[in-house]
Chains A and B, each alone.
Chain A
Amino acid sequence: MNTQTQTETVNKDQPSFARLRNLWNDYLPYWFIAPMVLVMVMITFFPGAYDLYLSLIEEPTVNILNAEFVGLSNYETAFTRGGAIHSFVITITVVASALLLESFLGFFLAALVAGVESSRAKSFYRVLFIVPMAVAPVSLATIGRIMLNSEIGVIPYLIETVTPFAAPAFLSEIPLLTVILLDTWNWTPFMFIIFYAGLSSVPGTLIEASRVDGAPLWRRYVHVIIPYMKPVVFVAVLIRMIDLFRTFGVVYGLTQGGPGTATQLVSINIYEQMFINNSPGVATAIAVVYLVFVIAIANIVIAKVGFEGVWD
């Protein structure tokens, strides 16, 4: 009797076990990536959803159980007295200017170093040009404040000693330009490294062929080298652009977004709304709009420039 019952149970279980095994085998790749998907949901989706939730409740409070929904009121505040539009304009100015400068300078330096024949000299320049990238944003801001200080800074001193011009008050007279130039100094090495790698990958035979055909240097770059490097340029610009949208530390350390709000990036505006004004609702409202804005810009760039040649 007992034996018979056991046999029946085994027979009953076999199909369901087989089903499970089939389910496991059929979706094997999905099971493997499931933990990672779960982690991504936890670290990306959940904070995003929580941000959205905070942007819709009354401020200031972090006690979500007692929070009162206020619709789009925080968004209205963000774009009126919160100064969100102004900070978007400042951010776009900084991103566009710094991206252009860093791309041109990075490419120019990469082309110069690629043209150096001595391998020792090449190594020296490679190391020299990537040093600024190693400086941490807060350190850069602190050093920058001291070096640009009109009374004790070395840069105004050098300008006034070496040139016939009076040094400007960098952080109060030309704060936005100063921020752009400092970021350019800090991050041109990133573009340099990627462009240098891209230039090194251009087949020598292609360049040689264009030279034999009588193409001058500029035509070799415009018609041969740059088109060949298009995927590299695209990836470098896209990564740097997204990173520029996230700029905070160096500008906050340097100017705190001032004078007034002359260098108030969106990231600084969000920080001030959150930690100075104690307005999490307004801060998260700006953050939500900013996130959508950056995703949209990145997608437009991808759609316009395309991924051809990037992934394949």
Chain B
Amino acid sequence: MTKEIDRRTLIKTATGVAAGTALAGCTRGGGGETATDSGDGSGSDGSGSSSSGEPPIPLSEYDADIDWAQFEGSQINIGAVQHPWVEAIKPAIPTFEELTGIDVVWNILPENQFRTKRQTDVSTGAGQFDVFFMDQVVNQYREEGWLQALDPYFNDSSLYDEDWYQPTDLFEASRWQAHGGGFSENWTGLPITVEVQTQFYRTDLYEKHGLEVAETLEGFVENAQAIHENESDVVGTVGRGQKGYGMNIYVLNTFLRQNGAELWSEFPSDSGLDSQGVIDAAEWYTSLLRDFGPQGASTQSWSDVLSTMQEGRAGHIVADANLFWPGLTGSDSSVADNVGIAKVPSPSDGQFSPNAYNWQISTSKNAQNSEQGFLFMLWATSEPTNTWMHLNNEAAFSVRQSVWENDEFRSRVGEDFAQVTLESLQAAAPDPFDRKYPEWGQRYSEELQRALAGQKSAEAAMTTAAGISEDIYSE
């Protein structure tokens, strides 16, 4: 008898450990409790409701012509990367759960692990994630037939109310990227965060040298030169030089588009990388960083750029994510009181169109609860949820214009930051992530890095990059 009890105990314990291991990383609702806490598989209620029992956001905010409660009692799995958006929305999840009766289960992983897990999930047809983070591989996934277009759900009157959702409040650049960056006529997901490139400069050095904030490329070079040549321990400017499709070319793409060039002027036969506009932009960027940037500019990643500016060793960041602002003006920065933000410079005869990047959430064809997932996407990207997230957290990545125009939000983040970001987002032109973008983007960035390191001229680098990119599509 004793033996039998021991064996059962052993089996129960082993099962518990195995289940715990398998479910590690899963959290439910907004509370962040692990699913294994309950032991019976049902998990905790995940309620992050206030002590009064009221949801964080009043349900009256979601008074739309949508049948929110039609899937009451079901559950959705969300695959997410460790991202500030997750931290900002988690406290609001009880509102969604109360509104819809749908339980939310989070599967949060570091970015690289998440990408591997996501690919396995969709390509094997497992369909574990009902909603998941989507990035530069959107068109690869779409063309493989793994992504589900959201248009049928937008056309379902029980799931969508256009008057309430106000899709035109989403920035045009965000909507464009959610349509596969021009490669799809359908919604491939809904944008959740956006960042746009802006210029950062040292106000104290500007005052000292009598400089004006540059609006043109020529003016920017003059300012960088003035600081570089007159300050002993400060370089004129810093910018991303490291290779990677999210690194140096993310910045260069701003300037090539402002020069009137475009990536894939004829898809997929002409990459456009050897066009005059691209070569001019590459020459401008490489000579700027080589002449007035730090030694070894070709190896600077975004974190190097940020830390060099925070240490007070650079006069400008030529163009980088507006999300640098908190880091530059926070307690980690030695120049927190002397940093200004402005729109990125553009050619005097060109257009202002800074690069921007959106994370979006999508659903796969094999997801088991896509309709519930769509309700979640709609709720998460709606104006009430966005506004709440941005007024009650440190968030500053809203894809909705109304948030950037919100006085309370502007007062929290600062008028300059809000206005420059708003105007930049309104004019933003994000990268089109075609299905082989990760591959040719990587090679294009390697060539740019070679030019930044002085291994070859910018023209030779861009010509090589064009050949490689077109080769990749010729197979």
Residue contact B294 to A259, C-beta cutoff 8 Å:
no
For A276, what are the chain B residues with a Cβ–Cβ distance below 8 Å?
A: 244-245, 438-439, 442
* Interface residue? B446 (CB, 8 A): yes
A277–B136 Cα gap in the complex (Å)? 11
Residue contact B295 to A150, C-beta cutoff 8 Å:
yes
A279–B442 Cα gap in the complex (Å)? 13
In the complex, the chain A residue whose C-beta lies closest to that of B140 is A278
* Interface residue? A62 (CB, 8 A): yes
Interface size for B (C-beta < 8 A) is 44
- Smallest Cβ distance from A235 to chain B, in angstroms? 36
Residue contact A151 to B468, C-beta cutoff 8 Å:
no
- Interface residues, chain A, with chain B CB atoms under 8 Å away: 60-63, 77, 81, 145, 148-152, 156, 167-173, 175, 255-262, 272, 275-279
For B472, what are the chain A residues with a Cβ–Cβ distance below 8 Å?
A: 81
For B402, what are the chain A residues with a Cβ–Cβ distance below 8 Å?
A: none
A168–B442 Cα gap in the complex (Å)? 26
Of the listed residues A62, A172, A262, A272, the one surrounded by the most CB atoms of chain B closer than 10 A to its CB is: A172
* Interface residue? B455 (CB, 8 A): yes
For A167, what are the chain B residues with a Cβ–Cβ distance below 8 Å?
A: 295
A275–B120 Cα gap in the complex (Å)? 12
Residue contact A258 to B298, C-beta cutoff 8 Å:
yes
Residue contact A258 to B242, C-beta cutoff 8 Å:
yes
Q: Which one, B112, B125, B450, B471, contacts A63 given CB within 8 A?
A: B125
Q: Which one, A256, A259, A261, A277, contacts B452 given CB within 8 A?
A: A259
- Interface residues, chain B, with chain A CB atoms under 8 Å away: 112, 115-116, 119-120, 123-125, 137, 140, 144, 235, 241-245, 294-299, 304, 307-308, 311, 313-314, 438-439, 442, 446-447, 449-450, 452-455, 468, 471-472, 475
For B242, what are the chain A residues with a Cβ–Cβ distance below 8 Å?
A: 256, 258
- Smallest Cβ distance from B94 to chain A, in angstroms? 36
Residue contact A259 to B299, C-beta cutoff 8 Å:
yes
- Smallest Cβ distance from A54 to chain B, in angstroms? 13
For A258, what are the chain B residues with a Cβ–Cβ distance below 8 Å?
A: 242-243, 298-299, 446, 449, 453
Residue contact B299 to A172, C-beta cutoff 8 Å:
yes
In the complex, the chain A residue whose C-beta lies closest to that of B468 is A81
A-B CB contacts (within 8 Å), total count: 107
Of the listed residues B120, B298, B454, the one surrounded by the most CB atoms of chain A closer than 10 A to its CB is: B298
Q: Which one, A62, A172, A260, contacts B446 given CB within 8 A?
A: A260
Given A151-B313, A152-B307: A277 in contact with B243 (beta carbons within 8 A): no
Given A152-B307, A256-B242: A63 in contact with B123 (beta carbons within 8 A): yes
Residue contact A152 to B450, C-beta cutoff 8 Å:
no
Residue contact A172 to B235, C-beta cutoff 8 Å:
no
A280–B194 Cα gap in the complex (Å)? 30
- Smallest Cβ distance from A134 to chain B, in angstroms? 25
Give me the 6 closest cross-chain CB pairs, A-B, nearest first: A169-B296, A150-B295, A259-B453, A260-B450, A169-B295, A171-B299
In the complex, the chain B residue whose C-beta lies closest to that of A81 is B471
Residue contact A278 to B296, C-beta cutoff 8 Å:
no
Q: Which one, A77, A170, A260, contacts B449 given CB within 8 A?
A: A260
For A272, what are the chain B residues with a Cβ–Cβ distance below 8 Å?
A: 442
For A262, what are the chain B residues with a Cβ–Cβ distance below 8 Å?
A: 453, 455
Residue contact A278 to B299, C-beta cutoff 8 Å:
no
For A60, what are the chain B residues with a Cβ–Cβ distance below 8 Å?
A: 140, 144
- Smallest Cβ distance from B342 to chain A, in angstroms? 23
For B446, what are the chain A residues with a Cβ–Cβ distance below 8 Å?
A: 258, 260-261
Q: Which one, B144, B245, B308, B447, contacts A151 given CB within 8 A?
A: B308
For B442, what are the chain A residues with a Cβ–Cβ distance below 8 Å?
A: 272, 276-277
A255–B453 Cα gap in the complex (Å)? 12
Residue contact B295 to A256, C-beta cutoff 8 Å:
no
Residue contact B313 to A172, C-beta cutoff 8 Å:
no
For A173, what are the chain B residues with a Cβ–Cβ distance below 8 Å?
A: 296, 453-454
For B235, what are the chain A residues with a Cβ–Cβ distance below 8 Å?
A: 151
For B243, what are the chain A residues with a Cβ–Cβ distance below 8 Å?
A: 256-260
Given A151-B313, A276-B442, A277-B439: A260 in contact with B294 (beta carbons within 8 A): no
For A261, what are the chain B residues with a Cβ–Cβ distance below 8 Å?
A: 446
A/B interface sample: 9 pairs, CB < 8 A: A62-B120, A63-B125, A152-B307, A167-B295, A256-B242, A258-B243, A258-B298, A259-B452, A275-B115
Residue contact A260 to B447, C-beta cutoff 8 Å:
yes
- Smallest Cβ distance from A208 to chain B, in angstroms? 54
A61–B439 Cα gap in the complex (Å)? 15
Of the listed residues B112, B124, B297, B446, the one surrounded by the most CB atoms of chain A closer than 10 A to its CB is: B446
- Smallest Cβ distance from A82 to chain B, in angstroms? 10
A297–B330 Cα gap in the complex (Å)? 53
For A169, what are the chain B residues with a Cβ–Cβ distance below 8 Å?
A: 295-296, 299
Given A256-B243, A277-B442: A151 in contact with B299 (beta carbons within 8 A): no
A172–B115 Cα gap in the complex (Å)? 30
Q: Which one, A62, A152, A172, A256, contacts B308 given CB within 8 A?
A: A152
For B298, what are the chain A residues with a Cβ–Cβ distance below 8 Å?
A: 171-172, 258-259
For B294, what are the chain A residues with a Cβ–Cβ distance below 8 Å?
A: 149-151
